[in-house]
């Protein structure tokens, strides 16, 4: 059975998409079968996986509105080694179109049942909001990976996400848990980042992943080549950290 993880944080620009595509590529490199789902209408995870969002005939939008199955809408990214259920601007409409529909928050969950046996991991890149799209991701997930920068307001920003996850856990998906907080764009030379990192560990204990993703320019350059950093420059510090993180995830799911 596939383990399904949302990469979520309602803040924009915290590293969700970078985490999703690089973890997907890292897991594929260590032999895992991976489906990456882009739930953000910006389509950055789609483009960053070498799939042109403008040329897609079917996307996650069609899956949510039940006009296509996952098997029909997914594409394989040869360069990245994983499957992609892509997104483009059309997905913006789904937010409103889903409102009057039945089982609207469980559409993705239902659709994924059919491909459950095809994958070890399904990774979902969520938009920077706690919207109906994010809710669809949270309803089908076994866990949430929360990327965060170790900055002053980091902990404060987590409260809304933690509350939403608690509510989804109580009402819609009793499997849901925060599997871990991932420290990203980390710069150990900055004292404040070290302090916030320590606070995170005090507060969340073993929920903080051991792996830290450093700030690394190669990770930031990779999307303009339509690649995750792990594929674009495997020897870079950022890529290496994501490979270590992929191994950590493989270990973490053993107990799940
Ligand atoms: P989100 O999906 O949460 O909006 P992104 O993954 O798109 O965030 O990251 C925001 C910006 O930060 C992007 O320009 C990305 O390339 C850059 N970035 C993300 N992680 C790193 C990192 N570890 N080192 C350097 N730049 C990074
Ligand atoms: Mg993003």
Task: List the CATH number of the domain containing 15.
Answer: 3.40.50.300
Atom from ligand 1 closest to the CA of residue 184: 23
| Ligand 1: nearest atom to the Cα of 223 | 16
Q: How far is the CA of 111 from the centre of ligand 1 (A)?
A: 29
Task: Write down the pLDDT at residue 194.
Answer: 95
Q: Whose CA is nearest to atom 18 of ligand 1?
A: 220
Instruction: Report pLDDT for 153.
Output: 80
Question: Number of helices and strands (H, E) in the chain?
Answer: 12, 8
What is the span of the domain harbouring residue 101? 3-254
Residue nearest to atom 4 of ligand 1 (CA): 13
Residue 175 Cα to ligand 2 middle (Å): 25
Torsion angles phi and psi, residue 107, rounded to 5: -65, -45
* Residue 71 tokens, joined: 């098997």
Residue 80 Cβ < 6 Å to ligand 1:
no
Query: Is 238 near ligand 1, meaning CB less than 6 Å away?
Result: yes
Q: How far apart are CA 175 and CA 200, in angstroms?
A: 23
Query: Taking a C-beta distance cutoff of 8 angstroms, is the pair 80, 55 a contact?
Result: no
Task: Give pLDDT, residue 130.
Answer: 86
Any idea which ligand is nearest the CA of 14?
1
Q: CB-based contacts of 104: which residues, under 8 Å, 6+ apart?
A: 98, 132, 136
Residues, beta carbon < 5 Å, ion ligand 2: 16-17, 44
Q: 3-state secondary structure string, 184-223?
A: EEECCCCHHHHHHHHHHHHHHHHHEEEEEEECCHHHHHHH
- Nearest ligand to the CA of 219 is 1
Residue 158's pLDDT is: 87
Number of domains forming the structure of the chain: 1
pTM for the model: 0.97
Find the 45 Cα to ligand 2 centroid distance in Å: 7
State residue 255's pLDDT score: 80
Model confidence pLDDT, tens digit, residues 199-228: 999 999 999 999 999 999 999 999 999 999
Note the pLDDT of residue 71.
98
43 lines ligand 1 (CB under 6 A): no
CA of 89 to the centre of ligand 2 (A): 13
Q: Which residues of the chain have pLDDT under 50?
A: none
pLDDT at residue 42, as a whole number: 97
Confirm if 232 and 221 have CB atoms less than 8 A apart: yes
Is there a contact between 1 and 116 (Cβ–Cβ < 8 Å)? yes
């Amino acid at each position: 059975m596939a383990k399904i993880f949302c990469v979520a944080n309602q803040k924009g620009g915290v590293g969700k998409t970078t985490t999703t595509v690089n973890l997907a590529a890292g897991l594929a490199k260590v032999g895992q079968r991976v489906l990456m789902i882009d739930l953000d209408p910006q389509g950055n995870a789609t483009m960053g996986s070498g799939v042109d969002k403008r040329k897609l005939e079917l996307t996650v939008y069609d899956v949510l509105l039940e006009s296509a199955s996952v098997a029909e809408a997914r594409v394989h990214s040869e360069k990245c080694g994983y499957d992609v259920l892509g997104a483009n601007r059309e997905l913006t409409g789904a937010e409103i179109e889903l409102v009057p529909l039945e089982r609207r928050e469980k559409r993705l969950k239902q659709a994924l049942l059919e491909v459950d046996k095809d994958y070890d991991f399904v990774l979902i890149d969520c938009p920077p909001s706690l919207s109906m799209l994010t809710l669809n991701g949270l309803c089908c997930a076994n866990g949430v990976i929360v990327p965060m920068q170790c900055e002053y307001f980091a902990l404060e920003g987590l409260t809304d996400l933690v509350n939403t996850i608690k509510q989804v856990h109580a009402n819609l998906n009793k499997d849901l848990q925060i599997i871990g907080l991932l420290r990203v764009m980390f710069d150990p030379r900055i004292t404040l980042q070290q302090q916030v990192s320590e606070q995170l560990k005090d507060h969340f204990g073993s929920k903080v992943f051991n792996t830290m993703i450093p700030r690394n320019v190669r990770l930031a350059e990779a999307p303009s080549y339509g690649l995750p950093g792990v594929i674009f420059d495997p020897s870079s510090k950022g890529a290496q950290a994501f490979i270590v993180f992929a191994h950590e995830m493989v270990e973490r799911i053993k107990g799940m």
